[in-house]
């Protein structure tokens, strides 16, 4: 290992020089990521074993090689303690964690017979990148209503990255006080609380953490194949069903883009159309942004990317509204909710303590994407009364 870089909750960046030819950056070196809870915390000069398979193919969020283990002395075994949930099961790096819902948990008695979210608003999104935008919208709506910012819990499902530690977004939102807790569900791990299923994760958010609002989305690294059903965001529909089954109020955050070059993701992505239109069997509030017809002041500049021309979001809004009609009554089972998405909401997004990025595009390149997520947060706070 050549050098150690940035660190955040559960993760450390490294710079590693390869022994043999590999996917280096012309220098024989790669950026690598270590999870100290699994592989220890390597020091400069240590030899490490890397997995570079996704990096070599140009896949994966972040472009990292992943540290599998030190090449010499292994990190010490974890201390014996409570917890028998095994996540990333039957892989060499399986993690033994204490589940919030298991018998050894101090919260087991609370969750043993818990069965009701009591109308808790739950925003369900396809992409991890929606999380900070939903929170920005929620906090903006709370401020306008003269109420405290909501206590928000993120339930991370296992469709993308399994370790929550991979997400700088989660770490940054926790550090900024925008996010009260992260609950990792299914095979995902590394959250403040661990849960066996999305159902118990939701109940823990309500009954253990005391959430006012929950956001459910997969971790970083959405998987898609360009087919009708082969994408990890299908699970968003299952999450809507779980929320409704438990007596929560599901709020659908549409995956929207005005800049994606792929036709299937333009306007409302086919991921949202399939997950909400075909998988979700319970009704949800489908929130659609209403963009102003005139200039949209406040669009930020990005490096080499000028802000969009005035009024350019209005055609996107009309397209999104037309596509969403297929999801709502009388054609579909969901409820249409329209929320204004003007310059004030754009300013709220720009205040995010973490970088906004979706499919490599920031707020300047694809503002409609983040505004569509933000209005779901606005609506969720309004449901609080």
Who's near 216: CB < 8 A, 6+ residues apart?
Answer: 122, 123, 124, 125, 154, 155, 157, 198, 202, 236, 239, 243
Report the alpha-carbon distance of residue 143 to residue 165 in Å, rounded: 30
pLDDT value of residue 104? 94
Looking at the chain, how many residues does it have?
385
- Distance between first and last Cα of the chain: 54
pLDDT at 54: 83
Q: Are 218 and 232 in contact (CB under 8 A)?
A: yes
Give the pLDDT confidence score for residue 92 in this predicted structure. 85
**pLDDT (0 to 100) of residue 230:** 94
Q: Is the peptide bond before 330 cis (omega within 30 degrees of 0)?
A: yes
Q: How far is residue 231's CA from residue 262's CA, in Å, rounded to a whole number? A: 15
Residue 134 vs residues 154, 160, 175, 371: alpha-carbon distances, Å? 11, 19, 17, 9
User: Where are the strands (E) in the chain, listed by range?
Assistant: 3-8, 11-17, 29-34, 48-51, 65-70, 85-87, 95-97, 121-124, 152-157, 181-185, 193-195, 213-218, 249-253, 256-257, 267-268, 285-290, 335-340
Strand partners, 4: 14
E runs forming strands in 223-303: 249-253, 256-257, 267-268, 285-290
> Kind and range of the H or E element at 356?
none
pLDDT per residue as tens, the chain (385 positions): 899 999 999 999 999 999 876 666 556 889 999 999 888 888 899 999 999 888 888 776 668 999 998 877 666 776 677 888 999 999 888 889 999 999 999 999 999 999 999 999 999 999 999 999 999 999 999 999 999 999 999 999 999 999 999 999 999 999 999 999 999 999 999 999 999 999 999 999 999 999 999 999 999 988 889 898 999 999 999 999 999 999 999 999 999 999 999 999 999 999 999 999 999 999 999 999 999 887 676 665 544 444 554 447 999 999 999 999 999 999 999 999 999 999 999 999 999 999 999 988 999 889 999 999 999 999 999 999 8
SS3 279: helix
Structure tokens at 31: 């950026």
This prediction's pTM: 0.92
Judge contact between 313 and 295, C-beta under 8 A. no
Give me the pLDDT at residue 297, please.
66
Which sign, positive or negative, has the C-alpha torsion 325, 219, 361, 368?
positive
């Amino acid at each position: 290992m050549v050098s150690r870089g940035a660190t955040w909750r559960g993760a450390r960046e490294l710079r590693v020089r390869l022994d043999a030819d590999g996917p280096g950056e012309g220098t024989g070196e790669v950026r690598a990521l270590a999870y100290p809870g699994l592989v220890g915390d390597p020091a400069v000069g240590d030899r490490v074993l890397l997995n570079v398979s996704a990096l070599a193919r140009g896949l994966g969020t972040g472009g990292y090689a992943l540290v599998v283990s030190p090449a010499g002395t292994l990190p010490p075994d974890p201390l014996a303690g409570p917890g028998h949930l095994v996540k990333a099961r039957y892989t060499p790096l399986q993690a033994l964690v204490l589940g919030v819902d298991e018998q050894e948990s101090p919260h087991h008695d609370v969750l043993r017979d818990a069965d009701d979210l009591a109308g808790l608003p739950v925003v369900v999104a396809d992409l991890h990148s929606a999380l900070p935008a939903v929170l920005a919208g929620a906090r903006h709506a709370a401020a306008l209503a003269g109420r405290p910012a909501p206590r928000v819990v993120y339930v991370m499902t296992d469709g993308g990255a399994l370790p929550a530690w991979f997400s700088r977004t989660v770490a940054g939102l926790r550090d900024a006080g925008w996010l009260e807790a992260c609950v990792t569900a299914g095979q995902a791990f590394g959250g403040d609380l661990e849960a066996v299923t999305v159902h118990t994760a939701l109940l823990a958010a309500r009954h253990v953490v005391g959430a006012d609002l929950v956001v459910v989305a997969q971790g970083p690294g959405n998987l898609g194949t360009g087919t009708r059903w082969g994408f990890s965001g299908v699970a968003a529909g299952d999450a809507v069903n779980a929320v409704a089954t438990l007596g929560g109020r599901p709020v659908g955050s549409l995956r929207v883009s005005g800049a994606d070059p792929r036709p299937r993701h333009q306007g409302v992505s086919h991921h949202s159309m399939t997950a909400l239109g075909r998988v979700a069997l319970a009704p949800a509030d489908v929130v659609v942004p209403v963009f102003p017809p005139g200039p949209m002041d406040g669009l930020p500049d990005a490096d080499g990317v000028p802000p969009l021309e005035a009024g350019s979001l209005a055609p996107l809004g009309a397209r999104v509204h037309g596509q969403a009609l297929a999801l709502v009554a009388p054609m579909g089972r969901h409820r249409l909710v329209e929320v204004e998405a003007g310059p004030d909401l754009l300013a709220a997004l720009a205040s995010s303590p973490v970088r906004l990025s979706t499919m490599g595009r920031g707020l300047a390149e694809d503002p409609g994407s983040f505004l569509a997520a933000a209005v779901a947060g606005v609506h969720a706070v309004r449901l609080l009364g």
